[in-house]
Amino acid sequence: MAKIKKSVVVKKPTKVKLARDRNAGTMTNAMFWSFIRSALRQKSRWWKPITQCRMASRRAYKGTNKRQKFEYQCNQCKSWFPDKEVAVDHKIPAGSLNSGDDLKGFVDRLFCEQIDLQVLCSGCHDVKTQLEKTKK
């Protein structure tokens, strides 16, 4: 006699609908704070201490690439990199912005002075970012 296999139907868990009570009913609370966080970070690119930090770590490029004028020294590994391979990093992370209570601290840390900033190469910046994420 042959055994008949019974098929088991597995239901996918249903997604919980979050209330879209921000921006005329188009955003959740998390979407709203992500929007604000992104806008503040975008404006921080024009903050003078960031430019000053970058300028303090640069030197004239003397290599063979005629299009490259400057190179920047990583504060961590002390190697020199082209502009596209470095980032200005906050020594003290700007942190999270998930509510109005977080706003003042986030803005204070994001718009800090040059002494609280450093230039890091992409590799060192990635390592530092991963370490900060694991500390949470």
Per residue in 34-75, pLDDT (tens digit) is 999 999 999 998 999 999 999 999 999 989 999 999 999 999
Residue 136 has pLDDT above 90, yes or no: no
Residues 98-127: what's their mean pLDDT? 96
Confidence of residue 1 (pLDDT cuts 50, 70, 90): low
Q: Do 123 and 78 form a contact (C-beta atoms < 8 A)?
A: no
Residue 112 has pLDDT above 90, yes or no: yes
| Cβ neighbourhood burial of 68 (10 Å; 0-12, 13-18, 19+) | middle
Residue 130 has pLDDT above 90, yes or no: yes
Residue 131 has pLDDT above 90, yes or no: yes
Calculate what percentage of the chain has a pLDDT beyond 90: 74
Residue 84 is predicted with a pLDDT of 95
Place of tokens 């604000």: 36
Tell me the pairing of strands 80-81 and 86-90. unpaired
Residue 8 has pLDDT above 80, yes or no: no
